[in-house]
């Protein structure tokens, strides 16, 4: 069964009681059980599990080719659960341009969680090989990266990690399963912020971990979700499940429009650099063409004149809304260094774009007037 068909049908069997084609939403916080506390299906309390979430996780596992999928309250809570699944004293090799929210979380809590962090440029396989010369439990990568759109060779990095006895986690938020499948390339765990393309409408928050094997690390993440309270609401699970149905069609439009926008910006005299793996000039273009289906709906560009010029462009945009997040129907622009704060590693002249579902010619016209001043 092809991926687009799986997106429509996975976890979508008609309701057994009513025959309804739209999945039922179970809001119950607790479930009747036997006097000894047992239920054959394991449903006891919403924080542990619920039927709506189970449907979603069935669909997520089918799309990512995973043995097990877990849904969380947010992308960063999914990341926290992945870290809690590690033994005290574990060494984690972290990509140097990892999404700032996760990177800062790790820096804040690594010592408390008794983890050793080693920051590495994982796009450089020689650097990764050197870092793996010291024993590590987990390699944490992101491809494409946020916001510089750097592409990591997932297959090669997985081979290096496994050869050193480590597991590979790939944050694939910018490239959901219809665009990229890290598990098929050898990764052990894939992380998604479901808030973005999976939800698709800027109205739900959630995070996902998909595991190649249903083993100890997956069970540890499940336990962390229950006992730390990293669970999402059933309504959030229902909204993401709904979003998955249209994700293939939405992503095709996002990808096509982003490619047009990137080409326009690449030719504009007020732009000094465009970061989009769909451009043949991008250093990761050939690699992205091998491991992605399309090049995604995210890109970033740098404005001639520095920080103030970039802010001026952002202020003149009319269709692109200045807002955090990505992957919704509406196009967004963000001056990342302003949002990321003092620990940001993003160039001050960079603007990140989430290309939405508007007509691409209108988006290009908006960028043209903003860049022209």
Place of tokens 């995210």: 298
Which distant-in-sequence residues (6+ apart) come within 8 Å of 133 by Cβ? 164
Catalytic residue among 99, 103, 150, 352: 99
Alpha carbon dihedral 337, 342, 343, 348, in 10-degree steps, equals 30
Is 64 among the catalytic positions? Answer: no
Contact 200, 56 (CB under 8 A): no
Q: Where are the alpha helices (DSSP H) in the chain?
A: 3-9, 51-64, 75-84, 100-109, 125-131, 154-163, 216-228, 234-266, 285-291, 306-316, 336-340, 360-372
Catalytic residue among 45, 47, 242, 345: 47
Buried (b) or exposed (e) across 348-366, using 16+ Cβ within 10 A? bbbbbbbbbbbebeebbeb
Integer angstrom CA distances of residue 286 from 151, 280, 291: 10, 8, 9
Which distant-in-sequence residues (6+ apart) come within 8 Å of 130 by Cβ? none
d(CA 256, CA 248): 12
Catalytic residue among 49, 97, 153, 171: 171
β-bridge mates for residue 139, sequence order: 93, 168
Residue 163: count of CB within 10 angstroms of its CB: 10
Is 366 among the catalytic positions? Answer: no
Catalytic residue among 6, 91, 103, 196: 196
Is 349 among the catalytic positions? Answer: no
Is 188 among the catalytic positions? Answer: no
DSSP state of 235: H
Residue 135: both structure tokens together: 């024993």
As annotated, the active-site residues are 47, 99, 171, 196
């Amino acid at each position: 069964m092809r991926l687009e068909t799986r997106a429509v049908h996975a976890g979508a069997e008609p309701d057994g009681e009513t025959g309804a084609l739209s999945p039922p939403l179970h809001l119950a916080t607790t479930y009747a059980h036997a006097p000894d506390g047992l239920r054959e299906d394991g449903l006891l309390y919403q924080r542990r599990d619920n039927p709506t979430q189970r449907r979603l996780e069935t669909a997520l596992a089918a799309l990512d080719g995973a043995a097990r999928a877990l849904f969380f309250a947010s992308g960063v809570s999914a990341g926290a659960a992945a870290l809690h699944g590690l033994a005290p004293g574990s060494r984690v090799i972290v990509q140097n341009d990892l999404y700032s929210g996760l990177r800062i979380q790790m820096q804040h809590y690594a010592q408390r969680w008794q983890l050793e962090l080693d920051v590495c440029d994982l796009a450089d396989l020689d650097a990764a090989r050197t870092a793996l010369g010291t024993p590590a439990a987990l390699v944490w990568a992101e491809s494409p990266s946020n916001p510089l759109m750097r592409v990591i060779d997932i297959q090669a990095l997985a081979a290096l990690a496994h050869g050193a006895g480590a597991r590979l986690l790939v944050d694939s938020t910018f490239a959901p399963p219809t665009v990229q499948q890290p598990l098929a390339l050898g990764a052990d765990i894939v992380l998604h912020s479901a808030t973005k393309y999976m939800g698709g409408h800027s109205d739900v928050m959630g995070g996902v971990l998909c595991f190649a094997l249903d083993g100890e690390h997956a069970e540890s993440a499940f336990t962390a979700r229950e006992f730390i309270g990293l669970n999402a609401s059933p309504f959030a699970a229902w909204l993401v499940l709904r979003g998955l149905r249209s994700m293939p069609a939405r992503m095709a439009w996002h990808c096509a429009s982003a490619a047009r926008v990137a080409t326009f910006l690449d030719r504009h005299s007020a732009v000094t650099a465009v970061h989009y793996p769909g451009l043949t000039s991008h250093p990761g273009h050939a690699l992205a063409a091998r491991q992605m289906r399309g090049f995604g709906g995210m890109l970033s560009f740098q404005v001639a004149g520095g920080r103030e010029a970039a802010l001026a462009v952002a202020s003149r945009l009319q269709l692109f809304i200045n807002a955090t997040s990505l992957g919704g129907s509406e196009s967004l622009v963000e001056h990342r260094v302003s949002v990321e704060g003092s620990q940001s590693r993003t160039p001050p002249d960079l603007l990140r774009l989430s290309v939405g579902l508007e007509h691409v010619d209108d988006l290009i016209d908006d960028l043209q007037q903003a860049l022209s001043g």
